[in-house]
Structure 1
Amino acid sequence: MRISFLHTVDGNKRVFDDAAKTLGLRVDNLRHEVRSDLREAVQDAGTFSAALKEETKRCLLALAAHADAVILTCATLGPAVEELESTPVPIVRADVALAAAAGKVGGKITVLCAVEAAVEPTRKLFERHASDTVRSVDVTHIARVWALFKSDNIDECFAAIAASANEAYEAGATVVAYAHPWMAPAVNLARNGSQPLDSAHAALRNVMQRIGGPSLCI
């Protein structure tokens, strides 16, 4: 079984490889394509234009032609998936998989987000996938971690993310979710006794359920 990924951040390749290993998946069956130009074009234009959506869809379908499932790891490009009427294999949005996983847990959901522009779209996404057991959805913007990540202060960045997760649990959160895939390494740094959810594991688990986890295991 082969899983392909469309990334816009190069570092997400390792994040998903590491998550796959923890789930017992064969890393040599994973194929990564990085198209940071697509995300940058959307940011420069200030909108996800029809032309950029078409390019994203073409890229996803090209990956699908040689895979059993495709995972789109960039939330900015996510709307392109919704416009695909039919696909030869499942195409999973990592952010949707995360929101669905959090929604199943229910209770009070706190989502940690590093980019201010993503706060409202993230809130709407998690509310859309909330189950009847969800009491509230709060999206917390932790601004400094994005600057730390971009400047390669990785240890300080992940420590700050974990500290925010601990604060959220102490404030009564039932589940904490990390909005961006690159945040995943901070999962094991949280010390509240509860483990935050990350989109890398959520997306891979979603794929395993849809195309058969046991056949993907080493």
Structure 2
Amino acid sequence: MSFYKLFDFLRDLNANNNKEWMDEHRKRYHEIRDFYIDWLNQMDIIFSKADPDYSPTTGKQAINRINNNLLFHPNKPVYKDHFGAGLDQEKGKGDFYILIGINGSFVAGGFYKPKKEILDNIRAAIDYNGEEFVKILNKKSFKETFGGLMDEEKLKTSPKGYDKDHKYIDVLRNKSFAVMHEFTQKEILDDKFQDDLVQVYKEMLPFRNYLNNAVTV
């Protein structure tokens, strides 16, 4: 089994996105799913060796359902066009998410649209020691890997309790504190994909550690 077959399966599923087709190819789906879970188990071990604070998470714990939630998104297809999983899971920690799909693959981490309490704690940490956080964001290799924060949504004004002239106001206005690194299918199929993924994980560590400390201390 390989990522070649995973991508082939997702392309076929995307072209036949219905329960009848899935039922006919259920065995194939489980073979692909088992491969992905085994791969996640391998990465779980590798990440735990790379990071002393890593929280072990089995592939079965990490993997997401391939079914879309049609109750809340009735216009979406029955099945997703990707396999997604969240490793390094622990209550209070920011996410470390891996998505491999036919319409894009990426690794993301941090807090995406967190609850108010978490967002308030992150902003308080930046208010207290924003210099360290900005230094992480501005590190050359970090910017080359992630580009910067995912800033899909930002406040148009300053957050409540913060002056509009705050030294780090541009960072404080973010509603999410997360970063993302995209992988092409060619990169995923390359023999060094695992090594590249570990390098991205390590590059993200100071960022995630800062945020995790902000919401737990």
Greater RCO, 1 or 2 (C-alpha within 8 Å, sep 6+): 1
Which structure's residues are more often strand, by fraction? Answer: 1
Which structure has the larger Rg over C-alpha atoms? 2
